[in-house]
Structure 1
Amino acid sequence: MKLTKTLIAAGTLASAASLVAACGSGQVGQSGSGDTSNNTITSKKLTLVPGVQAEPFYISMQCGAQDEAKKLGYELTTQAPQKFDAAMQTTIVNALGSNPPAALLIAPTDDQAMLAPIQQVKNRGTKIVEVDTSLQDKSVAASSISSDNTAGGKLAAQTMAKLAGDKPGSVLILDTIAGTSTTAARAKGFEDELKNHPNLKSAGIQFTQNEPDQAASKVTAALASTPDLIGIFATNLNTGEGAATGLRNAGKIGQVNLVGFDASPSEVDGLKKGEYQALIAQDPAAIGTQGVQQAVAALEGKPVTRNLTADLHSITKDDMDANSKYFYKQNC
């Protein structure tokens, strides 16, 4: 069934040496050659700390941020934790305290645990801009840029309902880590919208710790315990990739509708092969671009918008070629 494209505007500490930085034209998680030894708070040096290294969503965000920083005459350095982990991200942020950038663009990996380290950097005079995820405390950041994740969850449920038609059944929701603001909003939006489709019922939310193998295990368990499982909503690319593996291992590809969030290369390939029935794609490059714009505005004393949203796009196999510009990158 072809769906019409819908747009919505909407705990171990690792040592700092184990966390790999990227800058210039490098990718998230790769080493760069930039020398930040002379960086001061009045410089034009920006730092991006995404949620995790080497993930296409954050690479695409970095690409957009790098391009915009260069355009505006600023230098962007990216440092990413090896895992989506508050302790690892804290190590990176704490290290910035001795050499603070003019502005920090960050995707907090925990909406409470990351408050103290980010606040300490802010106290040194650094402007804070949240990209993708955000803190519960709204007083820290000058601006927050993300997708409208609640609306994205609703879009995913509407997409799932169109895929299911009138067929009744249960739908499993795969979330990442408790305390992750973006995926929690997607899961809630999905569950709320699912109530508007009486033939579908929620099989509950399962947390995967953002690990594909755990997502695959959750799917295997759900298939055994829920005979009427008709669909799975995966709230990010890791859970989606794991869910596809679980369905593949069980021989249930195409029998259970999989709607994924994000559009990583592997997810796009899965959509093409029929392992996914739909993807809800974000626009991470736009989030990175807008993040730099707001950081520069804050630094230059210009008006700053406190909250901005990027568009979301529902993509199926039938219209994927027309929406290829929203597929995530593996390099800039």
Structure 2
Amino acid sequence: MSAKTVALVSAAVLLTACGGGQIGDTGGSGDAKRVVLIPGVAAEPFYTSMECGFREAASAAGYSVDVQAPAKFESTLQTPIVTGVLANKPGAVLIAPTDDKAMAGPIRRLADAGIEVVEVDTRLEDTSIAASSVSSDNRQGGRLAAETLARLVGDRTGSVLVLNTKAGTSTTDERAAGFEEEVGKHPNLRYVGQQYTDNEPDQAASKVTATLAANPDLVGVFATNLNTGEGAATGLRNAGRTGSVNLVGFDASPKQVADLRAGAVQALIAQDPATIGRVGVEQAVAAVEGREVRREVETDLVALTRDDMEAKSEYFYKQEC
């Protein structure tokens, strides 16, 4: 597919699961009372839950909305969406950058045009561009995953693996780093490093299969996002190691929650994406209206296990608002 075709297709992908928005729901060009959300990828429950909070907060503030998302978590697909949004000049853009370096140029053009930029979930390496960044404390989430895995494993000795998504994804890289920091405190657990899956479940499944072959003493896997978690569960199931290898996932999508309930996953580290969306709007509106903006905002995470998941069901992600 040519670059021109990719740009046209990508710019047309709109995420409208919450609120029934229509394609081209832009509210006119040069509208300071309009705020745009550009998630990392379309139709993913984490970003759908974020959109729910985004729409709720924007409506309460009296702002019109537009939501556009790439079909895959790739900077080449997100860039033309940013370019299209720039042409219409909203008051603010909330964006989850799909690459912490490659998206810096396109997002800087938004800021240079006077559009307020708020990073949600992921962020750029260059901290001079966005007015605010709202996300989970992902390093703390990785530490929480290691602590939870250590409790699940108990006194057993064995290897543990991290499945990451794509290098350069700020959130998952922080989760992997936090996990590595914490797992070193548990001498019965031998960390065999992280492997990248290109955010594809089938690659996660094959990485688990290969790791089991090389490390038959594998006792734990930490999957840093939804797709790697779903793929890891498949890999363990195919190998007949469900339950004997403890799988800690990240995010509480409907599929992940179902896997936790069924015992295919032993724990999930859940974020609060709706709050990220709401707080992102609050910071964007404050920036547009010339009020004080918080440069860094971190939201809570929680560990869910089969024993306590129903009591913490408010952290389950949504497929629609």
Fold shared per TM-score above 0.5: yes
| CA apart distance, 1:305 | 0.3
| CA apart distance, 1:76 | 1.5
Equivalent runs, 1:194-273 vs 2, <5 Å: 194-273=183-262
Match of 1:279 in 2: 268
Which runs of 5 or more residues in structure 2 are unaligned? none
Match of 2:94 in 1: 105
Matched residues, number: 318
Match of 2:25 in 1: 34
Match of 2:15 in 1: 22
The yes-or-no answer on 1:154 pairing with 2:143 is yes
CA contact (8 A) 1:128 1:141 kept: yes
CA contact (8 A) 2:17 2:320 kept: no
CA contact (8 A) 1:12 1:87 kept: no
- Relative to structure 1, the CA distance from residue 96 to residue 34 in structure 2 (aligned partners, 3 Å threshold; closer, same or farther) is closer
Structure 1 residues 201-233: Cα deviation after superposition (integer angstroms, max 9, x where no partner): 111100000011110110111111111100000
- Relative to structure 1, the CA distance from residue 275 to residue 25 in structure 2 (aligned partners, 3 Å threshold; closer, same or farther) is closer
2:29 partner amino acid: N
Match of 2:304 in 1: 315
Aligned pair partner of 1:138 in 116, 127, 133: 127
CA contact (8 A) 1:145 1:310 kept: yes
CA distance in 1, matches of 2:44, 2:166: 16
- Relative to structure 1, the CA distance from residue 128 to residue 35 in structure 2 (aligned partners, 3 Å threshold; closer, same or farther) is closer
1:298 partner amino acid: A
Which runs of 5 or more residues in structure 1 are unaligned? 1-10
CA contact (8 A) 1:24 1:34 kept: no
* TM-score (normalised: structure 2): 0.96
Task: For residue 172 of structure 1, give the secondary structure of its aligned residue in structure 2.
Answer: strand
| CA apart distance, 1:91 | 1.0
Match of 1:64 in 2: 53
Q: Report % sequence identity.
A: 57
Match of 2:280 in 1: 291
Structure 1 residues 30-82: Cα deviation after superposition (integer angstroms, max 9, x where no partner): 8536253x3215x2111100000000000000000000000110112100000
1:32 partner amino acid: I
- Relative to structure 1, the CA distance from residue 25 to residue 315 in structure 2 (aligned partners, 3 Å threshold; closer, same or farther) is closer
- Aligned-pair Cα RMSD in Å: 1.5
CA contact (8 A) 1:130 1:145 kept: yes
CA distance in 2, matches of 1:56, 1:165: 32
CA contact (8 A) 2:220 2:247 kept: yes
Name which of structure 1's ranges 18-27 and 286-295 shifts more when overlaid on structure 2. Answer: 18-27
Equivalent runs, 1:33-52 vs 2, <5 Å: 34-36=25-27, 38-41=28-31, 43-52=32-41
CA contact (8 A) 1:153 1:189 kept: yes
* TM-score (normalised: structure 1): 0.93
**Hey, which bits of structure 1, 4+ residues long, moved more than 6 A?**
none
